[in-house]
């Protein structure tokens, strides 16, 4: 299989990251689990585009990121998938309570536990991109719910991904692009993965991003359209 020209979606999972790749000339879907982003550096080098569901740029003022505020307006009832991203100063926090104090001093608000639980992945991503400038050019912060919104003709989904109706809703949308046969093959492969490694929604999230990356190249949506950068040079923008 031609390894060049991949379209990749990356999402955090229990044991690291789930990486889903689509290819230019075939319908084949490749899935892998990696412990660290650095472990897949060569894989990412061969990608055209990598969409990752993790905040990359961090706010460095007292206000929250403009991209997150716009995303919530788009997603409406699904807006809960967009959480408030911690202030850049939280990067030095050693524990949750310290993170809350730092964030409150910078913004007037504490951070929720979900934001803290993934913050190590945020730091990992930023460090990886700073150390791999060639790969960084291919990486864009994305969001699965926004990707499904785009895949579904700019219509928000009805059900949560955490219930069976939501899983079927998302599979139905992806089937339009991936095809029934390849989607069924992918889910048969998933049955061989231990449940403590990843969940179905991890794969659906990664696949949604890879699908937008491949099938909507040239018509990605950027929020905001004219972004600023944080003080370390990362773009405060979500792409889908």
For residue 2 the two structure tokens come to 């031609």
pLDDT tens per residue, range 13-26: 988 999 999 999 88
Q: How far apart are CA 147 and CA 150, in angstroms?
A: 5
Paired strand residues for 224: none
pLDDT for res 209: 99
Conformation bin of residue 11: beta by default, left when phi > 0, alpha when psi is -120 to 50:
beta
pLDDT at residue 71 above 80? yes
pLDDT at residue 1 above 70? no
pLDDT for res 5: 82
For residue 157 the two structure tokens come to 């989904």
| Average pLDDT of every residue of the chain | 95
Of 196 and 134, the structure prediction assigns the larger pLDDT to 134
Domains (ranges, CATH) in the chain?
A: 1-85+120-240 (3.30.420)
Specify the 3-state DSSP secondary structure of 158.
coil
pTM metric for this prediction: 0.95
Predicted confidence band of residue 3 (pLDDT cuts 50, 70, 90): low
Residue 110: DSSP 8-state: -
With tokens 């692009």, the residue in question is 177
Alpha-carbon torsion, ordered 172, 174, 180, 186, to 10 deg: -120
Residues 6+ apart with CB under 8 A from 81: 75, 143, 144, 145
Minimum mean pLDDT range among 135-144, 169-178, 189-198, 231-240: 189-198
Of 3 and 108, the structure prediction assigns the larger pLDDT to 108
Instruction: Tell me what the mean pLDDT of segment 87-103 comes to.
Output: 98
pLDDT tens per residue, range 140-154: 999 999 999 999 999
pLDDT at residue 120 above 80? yes
């Amino acid at each position: 299989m031609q390894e060049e020209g991949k379209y990749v979606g990356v999402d955090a999972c229990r044991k690291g990251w789930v990486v889903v790749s689509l290819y230019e000339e075939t319908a084949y879907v490749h899935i892998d689990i990696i412990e660290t982003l650095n472990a897949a550096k060569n894989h990412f080098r061969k990608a055209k585009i990598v969409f990752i569901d993790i905040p990359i740029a961090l706010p460095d003022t007292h206000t929250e990121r403009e991209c997150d505020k716009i995303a919530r307006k788009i997603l409406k009832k699904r807006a809960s998938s967009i959480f408030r991203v911690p202030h850049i100063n939280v990067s030095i926090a050693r524990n949750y309570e310290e993170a809350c104090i730092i964030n409150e001093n910078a913004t007037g608000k504490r951070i929720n536990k979900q934001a803290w639980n993934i913050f190590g992945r945020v730091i990992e991503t930023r460090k990886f991109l700073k150390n791999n400038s060639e790969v960084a050019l291919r990486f864009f912060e994305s969001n699965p719910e926004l990707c499904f919104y785009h895949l579904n003709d700019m219509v928000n989904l009805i059900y949560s991904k955490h219930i069976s109706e939501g899983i079927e809703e998302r599979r139905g949308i992806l089937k339009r692009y991936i095809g029934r046969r390849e989607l069924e093959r992918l889910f048969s492969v998933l049955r061989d993965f231990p449940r403590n490694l990843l969940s179905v929604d991890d794969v659906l999230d990664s696949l949604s991003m890879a699908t937008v990356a491949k099938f909507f190249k040239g018509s990605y949506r950027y929020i905001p359209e004219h972004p600023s950068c944080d003080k370390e040079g990362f773009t405060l923008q979500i792409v889908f």
